[in-house]
Structure 1
Amino acid sequence: MPDKPIRLLTYNVHSCVGTDRKLDPGRIANVIAEAEADIVALQEVDVGRRRTGGVDQAHMIASLLKMQAHFHPALSIAEEQYGDAIITALPTGAVKAGPLPSIGETRGALSVEIMVGERKLLVVNTHLGLRGRERIQQMTTLLNSGWLRGTTEESIPSVLCGDLNAIPASATYRLAARSLKDAQLTGAAAPRATFPSRYPLMRLDHIFVSHQLTVKKATVLETRLARIASDHLPLLADIGFSDP
């Protein structure tokens, strides 16, 4: 029996503040629930921040979805945190989190080993910086310093995803595309932009997979709810394991 594909979603949630300026983590959870994702990578998540009511958005969204959250604060000011999360109901193993070389706002990455049946999948979630040179350094760090554990045959099948702030013509994107496959280029459908959510013009959010994985389908969620819940649209990919 063929393995059922794993559905992975990456989503910059803009601190759960929508394009209508409403703060609503429940709405973000609804967008994710509609997508029926198994693994969710979130960027721009607020935890304990006054500006968003002091809520732990990562755990709130996870509990609404009956999942578990792993959160990494790229930025911490006293009790207030802001960063990236990976949420899933699947069993998880090793977690790695840390900063990336940053010029402006501090950026980081979060990786979680996830058990998919008998197999291990490594998911790395990140939100790269706004300057080109900074993004190249950050991507080089992710590709070369053990975040993705190399791309040898025996390494764990891996996904690198998130808001890379990089369009496909950029040097950062090309760097990732050298050793990983862009999920949006593997299907029959033309790639879709993810930002801004109301009138998407730019493909800034990406899912890249290692050679041990196949992408069955990749789509950008353009539902009415997704267009107002955040300023980015979620990107969704159905991923399977290539036969060993």
Structure 2
Amino acid sequence: MKPERHEHPLIRVATYNIHKGVQGLGPTRRLEIHNLGHAVEQLDADIVCLQEVRREHRREAAHFRHWPSQPQAEYLAPEGYEAIYRTNAVTRHGEHGNAMLSRWPVLSHQHRDISDHRFEQRGFLHTRVEVVDRVVHVLVVHLGLVPASRVRQIALLLAHIAQDIPDHEPVLVAGDFNDWGTGLGRRMAQAGFREWREQPTPTYPSRLPLNQLDHVYARGLKPVHAMVPSGRIWQRMSDHLPLVAEFAWND
């Protein structure tokens, strides 16, 4: 027997730019992927959206003695979670992209290249997740550094949603928007997306958070809470802090 509507739980979603699992520069850089594995588990999110995730990097694997043998998305997935990864950028020594870790079954996934110029390879990951007896679309994004590029990339993202996702199916859009202003947030709101805004949740830079570059927007779900973990260990693992947001069903 299917659960009643009131039995649908809150959906807890985290988004985290993990900086490819490495912090620092040159010979002083340090491997943080093992700490990140514990951190992701501590977030206790139903859906974890990750950016700057390594599939492989031959130079780093040779440099760090304890570089994981698994791709980072699979390594970071807590027990029982499904890991979905798609590449955004191919580099000389490997590749990296977006990933989603889900406590709920993943029905399908696809990738869209939204690179705006040859100096930045960008994309978004679109997954369909079955939460109890409903389909929720989860899109993981990492937008560019150039303001005009971000505007065009948001337009492509919203056009994809309008064309490929039925209006009645809930949608979550999470990731690193790289936006220091409010312009992209207004565009998301105009398209029917909401996020928790009752208190500031700055995520960047991690050592002294000044602005919220990371967001979780929802359509067809109600934002009920959001928070950013604090403490020295979170400051060390990446240049971003994770954002954790909770959503309830509209009915």
Q: TM-score of the superposition, structure 1-length normalised? A: 0.89
**Which shifted more, 199-208 or 175-184?**
175-184
Question: Which ranges of 4 or more aligned residues in structure 1 deviate by more than 4 Å?
Answer: none
- The aligned counterpart of 1:58 is 73
Any idea what SS the aligned residue of 1:145 has? helix
* Equivalent residues of 1:9, 1:235 under 8 A apart: yes
Distance in 1 (CA, whole Å) between partners of 2:163 and 2:52 is 22
Cα deviation for residue 183 of structure 1 reads 2.1
Cα deviation for residue 126 of structure 1 reads 0.8
Say yes or no: does 1:195 pair with 2:204.
yes
Cα deviation for residue 21 of structure 1 reads 3.5
* Equivalent residues of 1:158, 1:209 under 8 A apart: yes
For residues 1-244 of structure 1, what are the structure 2 equivalents within 5 Å?
Answer: 1-18=6-23, 21-53=29-61, 55=68, 56-62=71-77, 64-77=78-91, 80-103=94-117, 104-146=119-161, 149=164, 152=167, 154=168, 156-169=169-182, 171-185=183-197, 188=198, 190-210=199-219, 212-243=220-251
Distance in 2 (CA, whole Å) between partners of 1:119 and 1:101 is 32
Distance in 2 (CA, whole Å) between partners of 1:147 and 1:102 is 20
* Equivalent residues of 1:66, 1:89 under 8 A apart: yes
Q: TM-score of the superposition, structure 2-length normalised? A: 0.86
1:3 corresponds to which letter in structure 2?
A: H
Distance 1:221 1:180, change over 3 A: farther
Distance in 2 (CA, whole Å) between partners of 1:236 and 1:164 is 15
* Equivalent residues of 1:167, 1:173 under 8 A apart: no
Cα deviation for residue 76 of structure 1 reads 2.1
* Equivalent residues of 2:196, 2:224 under 8 A apart: no
* Equivalent residues of 1:226, 1:233 under 8 A apart: yes
Any idea what SS the aligned residue of 1:45 has? strand
Distance in 2 (CA, whole Å) between partners of 1:88 and 1:150 is 20
Distance in 2 (CA, whole Å) between partners of 1:99 and 1:206 is 20
Cα deviation for residue 225 of structure 1 reads 2.0
* Equivalent residues of 2:226, 2:244 under 8 A apart: yes
Distance in 1 (CA, whole Å) between partners of 2:113 and 2:127 is 15
Structure with higher Rg: it is 2
Cα deviation for residue 79 of structure 1 reads 7.3
* Equivalent residues of 1:123, 1:159 under 8 A apart: yes
> Identity rate of aligned residues, in percent?
29
Cα deviation for residue 67 of structure 1 reads 1.7
Distance 1:225 1:239, change over 3 A: same
Q: Work out the number of aligned pairs and report it.
A: 235
Deviations 1:166-187 (A, max 9, x none): 1343x333212222434231xx
